Every structure is written in C-alpha cells, then in structure tokens.
C-alpha cells in the first residue's frame, strides 16, 4: 500500500491515500458519496458519475458497508462535508470485503442488546460510543501509573498461577499444573506484601485477578483488572491518602485528555473531578446512617456486612466518594492488622463510590506470631502459606495498601449500566468466548 494519511490530517489540495472502513454510502443519482472511517475520524469521498472512470464509481458504490478500502485522490475544500474537506478519488482498492449482512450495525442506527454486542465485540468497538469507553479506560490506566510513579512506587508483576489462594480455596479456579493441582490467583495480596519485605518498600501492580464466584450481576466479573498498591512504613490512614491521590489523578487525566471521548458519551457537562479529600466514615456510623434511611429490609447490627441496597442508600446520603473505616476485625481478612488500642476493630477500610465499593485496603499485620494466629482464627492452615509466613520471620516492616477494581472505576466514572461494558472481552459464568 502507498503511504497512508489519516482522515483527520487531510488538508485541501493534498493528494493522499487514505484507508479505513466504509461507514456509509449515499447515492443521489448523478452524484454519490462514500464516508470512510479510520481511527482519527471520518471523511467524505465524492463520486461524480458522469466525470469519473466507471470502474472507480462502480467499485466505490458496490462495496459493502464495513469493508476495508484504500482510496487515492485529491482533497478539495467543501464546507458542506462533515470535515469541510472531501476527496475526489483517482483510484480505489477493496482491501477486505465485508459480508452484506452484519450481526449488528456499527453505525449505531439500529441498536443491539448487550449479549449480541459482546458476541461480536470487534464490530461493536467500531461504534464511536463504545470505542470512547476504551480510550478513556486506557487514559485511566496511564494516569494511575503516572500517579504511582509520582508516589515513588516500583511497578511489579506477580504470579497468576499459584499453589494456594490468598484467602482460602472457596473462590478459586483450579487448574492442572504439570500433574499437580494449582489455582488462578484471586489477588496479588500476598506477593505484593513479600515485595515490601524485599526492600523495594513501595510497589504497585495493574493486572488480572480471577474469582470463581457464581455471581450473575451487573457489577461482578470472574476475571477482572486489579489496581494494587502496597507501601512499607505507612499506616492505614496514609494508605487512604494514596488512594485518594491515585483515584483523583485518574479523573484528572480523563478530564484533561479525553475531552472528545466525554463529548461522544454525552458526559462533557456532568463530568467532574472528585475532591481530593474523601469523607471518612466509621463502620459504626455507616450502619447507623444506613438504618436511618429506611432503605434496608432489616436493621443492620454490628458485625453485619453491608448489603447492596445499604451501600447505595449510604452513597446517596454521602453524595461523593468516601471511605468506611474501623471495620470489625472478625469480618476482615487475616492479614489486616487490628487497632493497637482495640483488637475488636481492624485497620481495614473500603473506599466507596456512591453506587458501589471500589477499593478494599488496610494496614497489614507484620508481626509473625499475630499473622499465624490470624490464619488459625479464620480456619486456614498456616503451613499451606509457609512461603509467605516465613518471610515475616526475617524482618518485615509495618506496611499498608489496597486493591482497586479497574472495571468498577471505569463503570462508575462513566455511569455504565453493566460492568461488562468496561471490558473488551468479559468473563462471567455464561461467557467464555470470544
């Protein structure tokens, strides 16, 4: 192929070769127009039937929509064209012809249900609104990485095939690993803690996690992206500070660098960066405020987990991102440290969007004996985690951290109705392909 020019870069009087997908064809009799789409936008191609080579006209008007074509021609100024420029072709090549009947309409003029869209994700992503979601997702990941580096973190990659689960074996996908049983990792938690003991001190990871939970809801996945942070020599309050910083940076990155995408999604006017300081509400206050709303069927008691309707009622009451702190020790994982002055309270916290939980974190138990006791109290065998626990005998500093659900961040930021819209190829109970 000749050197290609993106449609957004075409200027009047240029002789160019453009390539992309046939978005639309309009035949008006003596004149016809083809709209070509590439990653930068769309451009109009004009066919004057009586003044052009018949083969060029025939090829351009007979090609099925969504076919990939290459066009060479001269660009003319045309104020009535979508980009004020149109191309008069001197050559056209059908690079890859599409079927005349498509399983969904990439122009968006005919809607399709989510299942059909996910079955044909490649076509679905040709729609500007869908593509905008993943351009924004890409910016979120870029901005969070930059924020972690500004916090002096080292990026790590931990194993996704493990011998034991982070929190036991009830939510693990088993696999056969050279004749032995292994599992897909449900969290990088234990490995990132080991990195704190290595002397790296401050680390982050953005990677997949796997949970064999039999959910079938609009906000759960069985393969998700976890954005994780862990740091030595900080406590749970400083970990919350870091969480605020990273989440705010993600919003700021989107606000600054995704203006066109937000406009495509109709979010330009309502999109706002959250305040850097999120309210911090104790668990006790949270259940009292939820009970006061009257939105839960039964009054919550100390030690109850927060139901979905309770989270939403509290979120509506708070009206912004917020933290729930000082959870009962009994309902937080073994690796979460208790408060020094009250062992019934943990240093664990959740960071919430008004619609759902986004982050779980806390200060970690760094004392070997207390850590082993925590395993036993939660019915786990410490010997199965010996690779992890023994490192706490060799000098483990105090540390804290958290994990943030990447898809949930995208979902809540953009107001998506289903978390599957925030994943290119989602994995849930019913979907293993494509």
Q: Encode pLDDT of 287-326 as tens digits.
A: 999 999 999 989 999 999 999 999 999 999 999 999 999 9
Phi, psi of 209, rounded to the nearest 5 degrees:
-130, 160
Residue 367 pLDDT more than 80?
yes
**CA R_g for the chain:** 27
Catalytic choice (117, 126, 145, 219):
219
Give the integer Cα–Cα distance in Å for 124 and 127.
6
Q: Which span out of 102-116, 169-183, 221-235 was modeled with the highest average pLDDT?
A: 221-235
Give the integer Cα–Cα distance in Å for 186 and 360.
14
Task: Give the model's pLDDT for residue 384.
Answer: 85
Edge-to-edge order in the sheet of strand 154-155:
154-155, 202-210, 223-232, 399-405, 356-363, 349-353, 322-325, 280-282
Give the integer Cα–Cα distance in Å for 192 and 188.
6
Do 87 and 225 fall within a single domain?
Answer: no
Task: Give the model's pLDDT for residue 178.
Answer: 97
Task: Give the model's pLDDT for residue 170.
Answer: 61
Other beta carbons less than 10 A from residue 230's beta carbon: 30
**Residue where a domain stops, chosen among 49, 80, 96:** 96
Catalytic choice (357, 370, 427, 431):
357
> Is 301 inside a domain boundary?
no
> Is 292 inside a domain boundary?
no
- Cross-strand partners of 184: 161, 173
- Decide if 37 is catalytic: no
Do 231 and 342 fall within a single domain?
Answer: yes
Task: Give the model's pLDDT for residue 166.
Answer: 65
Do 62 and 131 fall within a single domain?
Answer: no
Residue 201 token pair:
């001190």
Catalytic choice (171, 213, 285, 295):
213
395 annotated to a ligand binding site: no
213 annotated to a ligand binding site: yes
Do 352 and 390 fall within a single domain?
Answer: yes
Calculate the average pLDDT of the chain: 94
Do 149 and 208 fall within a single domain?
Answer: yes
Catalytic choice (65, 145, 220, 312):
220
> Is 287 inside a domain boundary?
no
> Please, what sign has the CA dihedral across residues 376, 380, 383, 389?
negative
Do 335 and 400 fall within a single domain?
Answer: yes
371 annotated to a ligand binding site: no
pLDDT in tens, 316-329: 999 999 999 999 99
421 annotated to a ligand binding site: no
- Decide if 280 is catalytic: no
Specify the residue for token string 């933290």.
323
What total of structural domains would you count in the chain?
2
165 annotated to a ligand binding site: no
CATH number at residue 207: 3.30.930.10
211 annotated to a ligand binding site: yes
Per-residue pLDDT, averaged over 330-345, amounts to 92
> Is 203 inside a domain boundary?
yes
Do 33 and 68 fall within a single domain?
Answer: yes
Residue 102 pLDDT more than 80?
yes
- Decide if 202 is catalytic: no
Give the integer Cα–Cα distance in Å for 162 and 142.
28
Catalytic choice (202, 408, 420, 421):
408
Per the structure, the complete domain to which residue 88 belongs is given by 7-96
Residue 1 pLDDT more than 60?
no
> Is 284 inside a domain boundary?
no
Q: What angle do CA 334, 222, 432 make, to 5 degrees?
A: 155
Do 55 and 148 fall within a single domain?
Answer: no
406 annotated to a ligand binding site: yes
Give the integer Cα–Cα distance in Å for 20 and 398.
55
Distance of CA 344 to the CA centre of its chain: 35
> Is 427 inside a domain boundary?
no
167 annotated to a ligand binding site: yes
CATH number at residue 89: 2.40.50.140
Do 145 and 238 fall within a single domain?
Answer: yes
**Residue where a domain stops, chosen among 33, 61, 96:** 96
Per-residue pLDDT, averaged over 344-364, amounts to 97
Per-residue pLDDT, averaged over 23-38, amounts to 95
Do 149 and 265 fall within a single domain?
Answer: yes
> Is 107 inside a domain boundary?
no
Q: Quick one: pLDDT band at residue 169, thresholds 50, 70, 90? A: low
221 annotated to a ligand binding site: yes
> Is 139 inside a domain boundary?
yes
CB contact set of 263 (below 8 Å; sequence gap of 6+): none
Task: Give the model's pLDDT for residue 119.
Answer: 97
Predicted TM-score (pTM) of the model is: 0.94
Do 327 and 397 fall within a single domain?
Answer: yes
Share of the chain above pLDDT 70, in %: 98
Give the integer Cα–Cα distance in Å for 403 and 407.
12
Do 363 and 232 fall within a single domain?
Answer: yes
**Residue where a domain stops, chosen among 53, 79, 96:** 96
Specify the residue for token string 């740091």.
231
Catalytic choice (211, 353, 366, 399):
211
- Decide if 211 is catalytic: yes
């Amino acid at each position: 192929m000749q050197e290609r020019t993106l449609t957004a870069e075409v200027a009047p009087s240029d002789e160019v070769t453009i390539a992309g997908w046939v978005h639309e064809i309009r035949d008006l009799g003596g004149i016809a127009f083809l709209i070509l789409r590439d990653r930068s936008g769309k451009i109009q191609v004009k066919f004057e039937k009586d003044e052009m080579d018949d083969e060029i006209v025939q090829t351009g008007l007979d090609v099925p929509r969504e076919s990939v074509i290459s066009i060479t021609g001269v660009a003319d100024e045309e104020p009535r064209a979508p980009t004020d420029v149109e191309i008069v072709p001197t050559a056209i090549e059908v690079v890859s012809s599409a079927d005349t009947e498509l399983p969904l309409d990439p122009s968006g003029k005919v809607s399709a249900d989510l299942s059909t869209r996910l079955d044909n994700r490649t076509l679905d992503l040709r729609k500007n609104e869908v593509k905008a979601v993943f351009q924004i997702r890409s910016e979120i990941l870029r901005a969070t990485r930059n924020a972690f580096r500004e916090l002096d973190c080292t990026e790590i990659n931990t194993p996704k095939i493990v011998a034991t689960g982070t929190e036991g074996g009830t939510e693990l996908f088993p696999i056969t690993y050279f004749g032995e049983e292994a599992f897909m990792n449900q969290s990088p938690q234990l490995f990132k803690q080991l990195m704190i003991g290595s002397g790296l001190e401050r680390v982050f990871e953005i990677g997949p996690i796997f949970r064999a939970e039999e959910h079938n809801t609009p906000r759960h996945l069985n393969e998700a992206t976890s954005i994780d942070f862990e740091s030595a020599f900080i406590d749970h309050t400083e970990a919350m500070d870091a969480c605020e910083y990273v989440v705010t940076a993600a919003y700021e990155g989107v606000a600054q660098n995704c203006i066109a995408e937000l406009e495509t999604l109709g979010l330009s006017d309502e999109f706002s960066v959250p305040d850097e300081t999120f309210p911090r509400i104790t668990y006790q206050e949270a259940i009292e405020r939820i009970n006061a709303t009257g939105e839960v069927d039964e009054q919550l008691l100390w030690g109850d987990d927060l139901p979905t309707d309770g989270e939403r009622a509290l979120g509506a009451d708070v009206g912004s991102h917020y933290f729930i702190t000082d959870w009962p020790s009994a309902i937080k994982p073994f690796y979460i440290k208790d408060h020094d002055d009250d062992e019934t309270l943990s240093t664990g916290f959740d960071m919430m969007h008004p619609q759902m939980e986004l982050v779980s974190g806390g200060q970690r138990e760094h004392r070997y004996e207390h850590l082993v006791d925590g395993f036993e109290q939660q019915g786990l065998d410490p010997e199965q985690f010996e690779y992890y626990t023994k490192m706490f005998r060799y000098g483990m500093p105090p540390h804290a951290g958290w994990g943030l659900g990447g898809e949930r961040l995208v979902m809540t930021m953009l107001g998506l109705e289903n978390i599957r819209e925030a994943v290119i190829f989602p994995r849930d109970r019913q979907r293993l392909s494509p």
